[in-house]
Amino acid sequence: MSRKSVLCKFFAHGACLKGDHCEFSHDWNDPQNNICTFYQQGACAYGSRCRYQHVKVSRSQSSVSNHPQYLQSEPILAGHPSGASSVVTGHASGVTTDSSLSSRSLLPTDKQPWGEMVGQEVISDISHIRERSCNPADRPICSLAATGHCHRGEMCPHIHGDLCPTCGQHRLHPFRPQEREDHFKSCQRSQKHLEALMHSDEIECSVCLERVLSKPKAAERKFGILSECDHPFCISCIMNWRSSSPSSGMDVNSALRACPICRKLSYFVIPSGIWYSSKEEKQEIVDRYKSKLRSIDCKHFDFGNGACPFGTSCFYKHAYRDGRLEEVVLRHLGAEDGQTVIVKNIRLSDFLSNLQIR
pLDDT digits (tens, 9 = 90+) for 168-179: 888 888 888 998
Q: Which domain holds residue 63?
A: 31-116
Same domain, 277 and 209: yes
Same domain, 214 and 178: no
Q: Where is the domain boundary, 173, 191, 209?
A: 191
pLDDT value at position 255?
Answer: 75
As a residue count, the chain comes to: 358
DSSP 258-324: B-TTT--B-S-EEEESS--SSHHHHHHHHHHHHHHHTTSB-TTTGGGTS--TTGGG--SB-B-TTSP
Q: Where is the domain boundary, 57, 87, 116?
A: 116
Domain total for the chain?
Answer: 4
Residue 259 lies in a domain: yes
Same domain, 140 and 112: no
Residue 123 lies in a domain: no
pLDDT value at position 16?
Answer: 81
Residue 20 lies in a domain: no
Same domain, 182 and 214: no
Q: Where is the domain boundary, 116, 147, 169?
A: 116
- What is the rounded distance in angstroms from the CA atom of residue 51 to the CA atom of residue 126? 15
Same domain, 243 and 277: yes
- What is the rounded distance in angstroms from the CA atom of residue 291 to the CA atom of residue 161? 36
State which residues of the chain have pLDDT below 50.
60-119, 122, 129-132
> Residue 316 in contact with residue 301, Cβ under 8 Å?
yes
Same domain, 238 and 260: yes
Same domain, 110 and 154: no
Residue 3 lies in a domain: no
pLDDT value at position 248?
Answer: 61
Residue 5 lies in a domain: no
- Contacts for 58 with CB less than 8 Å, ≥ 6 apart: 90
Same domain, 208 and 250: yes
Helix H or strand E encompassing 126: helix 113-132
- What is the rounded distance in angstroms from the CA atom of residue 137 to the CA atom of residue 176? 6
Q: List 325's β-bridge partners, or say none.
A: 319
Same domain, 288 and 229: yes
pLDDT value at position 52?
Answer: 79
Same domain, 213 and 289: yes
Residue 358 lies in a domain: no
- Contacts for 340 with CB less than 8 Å, ≥ 6 apart: 332, 333, 334
Q: pLDDT tens-digit profile of 38-90?
A: 888 878 888 878 877 787 766 544 443 444 433 333 333 333 433 443 333 44
Residue 26 lies in a domain: no
- What is the rounded distance in angstroms from the CA atom of residue 264 to the CA atom of residue 206? 15
- What is the rounded distance in angstroms from the CA atom of residue 227 to the CA atom of residue 229? 6
Residue 286 lies in a domain: yes
Same domain, 49 and 112: yes
Same domain, 278 and 336: no
